[in-house]
Amino acid sequence: MTIIYLIRHGQASFGKQNYDNLSEHGHQQARILGESLQSRVGQFDKLVLGSMLRHRQTLENCLNAMQHAFDEDDLRIEAGWNEYDHNDILAQLGPEFCDAPSIERWVRSQTHPKKAFESMFNRAMDRWIAGEHDDEYVESWQHYQQRIRQALSNTIDYAGEAKHVAVFSSGGPISVVSQALLGVDPSKVMQVNWTLVNCGITKLVSTGSRLFVSTLNDHSHFEGKDKALITYK
C-alpha cells in the first residue's frame, strides 16, 4: 500500500507581476508543514514535484524542516502537476485583464474591489471550463484535466512499492484528482479548489487494485497558535 501526500504549495505572491514565488508567509507555512510531517511521517520514500518555482520552494522549506536530506537525484520533476495558466485565462476576458498591472488598475477602479475581483475570476474560469472557446487558450480545460490524470498515473508507476510519496503541486491539480476520485460533479471542481489551504495535505491511498482519497485538505498543522497562517491563494 502506498500513501501519496498531495501537498499544495505555500502562499504565493498574489497580485504581483510574478505570482510564481512564495511570499514570506508561504515560506513559513512550508516550514510549519515540515515540522508536522517530521513527527507524523518521518521521511518520504519518494519525492515528486511540479516544475514551478513555488513547488520547489515549498519542497525545500518543508524537507529542511523535516530534517529530510535530499539531492537533485532524489527529485522526480513532473510538469503534469503544474497549475493552469491563470494569466492566460484572465487575459481572454478582455484587454483590461492582459497582465497583472492592468488587472490591479481595474480592481482599484471598482466600488467593491474584492467582490469585483472574485466575480471576474469566476467568470474567467467558467468561460475556460465551459470549453466553448478552447482555441483561444494556451491550454484547454480538457487538456488540463488529461495531463493531470497522466501525471497521477506516472506518479503511481514511479511510486512502485514505496510506502510514503510526497507530491508538491497546486490547488487546481489536487482539486481535479479529488473531484474525479470522490465523484464530485465536474462543474463543482473549482468550488473544491477555493477551499484548499496553502500547504494543506490531501492523502491518496493506492493499493494496486484501488485508488481513493483518505484525507482532503488536512491543515490541522495550522490550528491553535498557527491559525493565522491559514490562507487560500
Mean pLDDT for back-to-back runs of 10 residues, the chain (233 residues): 98 79 96 97 97 98 96 95 95 91 90 92 94 96 97 97 98 97 89 95 95 98 93 91
**Predicted pLDDT of residue 170:** 98
φ/ψ of 211, rounded to 5, equals: -135, 125
User: CATH classification of 2-83+141-229, choosing from 3.10.20.30, 3.30.565.10, 3.40.50.1240, 3.40.50.150?
Assistant: 3.40.50.1240
188 burial (CB, 10 Å; 0-12 / 13-18 / 19+) is exposed
Sequence letter at residue 87 = N
| pLDDT given at position 16 | 66
Residues in CB range of 229: below 8 A, 6 or more apart: 25, 28, 29, 32, 199, 222
List where CATH 3.40.50.1240 sits in the chain. 2-83+141-229
- Would you state the pLDDT for residue 84? 96
Instruction: Say if CB 231 and CB 28 are below 8 A apart.
Output: no
Q: What is the pLDDT of residue 188?
A: 87
Strand 46-49 and strand 164-169: the pairing is parallel
Cβ within 8 Å of residue 164, ≥6 positions away: 2, 3, 5, 41, 43, 44, 45, 46
Identity of the amino acid at 213 = V
Phi and psi torsions of 224, nearest 5°: 75, -130
pLDDT value for 176: 97
Report the pLDDT value the prediction gives residue 104, as an integer from 0 to 100: 87
CA dist 5 → 39, 49, 118, 209 (Å): 15, 11, 29, 19
* Cut 0.85: pTM above it: yes
